[in-house]
């Protein structure tokens, strides 16, 4: 039947990744925002841009599943490694590895695309869990933010799969 979709199929998505409308960026911490691109509730996956406009440690965390990243602008590194992810770098984070994302002092803005499955488990300096994010907490953060900035709670629905 023309125009119908399979009940398990989800619509395709195409969005301008780096928006001109600042309201699309969801605040995550002081000087840190994310921009949702895809929020897959069926597989517990999300793709987003992380934008940072401050230097220093962002978070110490681990993922139970692999993470893929691509640096669009700026640079960052993990305290646990001697490499630096710079504009154009691809990053692979193996499951279970603890890492501390840090932005250097001389980087005014960092934007990185991340493809995350599962969750992010935030840890303190003693490796005790202090927080957790998954696709559902990301959706909730988006809904609250989009209501507050006048886009409406359903603005996030275009990214949900």
Per-residue pLDDT of the chain (161 residues; tens, 9 = 90+): 344 444 555 566 666 678 889 999 999 999 999 999 999 999 999 999 999 999 999 999 999 999 999 999 999 999 999 999 999 999 999 999 999 999 999 999 999 999 999 999 999 999 999 999 999 999 999 999 999 999 999 999 999 99
Domain assignments of the chain as residue spans, ordered by start: 22-159
Q: What does the pLDDT read at residue 136?
A: 98
| Superfamily of segment(s) 22-159 | Jelly Rolls (2.60.120.10)
pLDDT at 11: 61
pLDDT at site 15:
61
Cβ-Cβ contacts under 8 Å for 76 (sequence gap 6 or more): 52, 84, 85, 101, 102, 103, 104, 107, 110, 112
**Phi, psi (rounded to 5 degrees) for 5:** -125, 155
pLDDT for position 4: 42
**What's the rounded Cα separation, in Å, for the pair 35 and 46?**
11
First to last CA, the chain: 23
Candidates 91, 40, 92, 88; CA nearest to 65 is 92
**Cβ atoms of residues 82 and 150 within 8 Å:** no
CB 68 within 8 A of CB 119: no
- Reference 52, options 72, 79, 82; nearest CA is 72
**Per-residue confidence (pLDDT) for residue 18, from 0 to 100:** 81
């Amino acid at each position: 039947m023309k125009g119908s979709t399979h009940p398990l199929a989800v619509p395709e998505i195409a969005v301008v990744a780096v928006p001109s409308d600042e309201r699309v960026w969801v605040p995550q911490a002081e000087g840190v925002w994310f921009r949702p691109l895809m929020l897959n509730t069926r597989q517990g996956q999300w793709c987003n841009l992380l934008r940072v406009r401050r230097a220093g440690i962002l978070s110490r965390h681990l993922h139970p599943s692999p993470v893929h990243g691509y640096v669009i602008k700026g640079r960052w590194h993990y305290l646990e490694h001697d490499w630096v992810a710079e504009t154009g770098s691809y990053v692979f984070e193996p499951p279970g590895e603890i890492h501390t994302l840090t932005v250097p002092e001389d980087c005014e803005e960092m934007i990185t695309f991340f493809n995350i499955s599962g969750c992010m488990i935030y840890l303190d300096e003693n490796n005790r869990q202090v927080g957790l994010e998954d696709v559902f907490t990301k959706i909730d953060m988006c809904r609250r933010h989009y209501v507050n900035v006048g886009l409406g709670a359903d603005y996030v629905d275009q990214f949900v799969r």
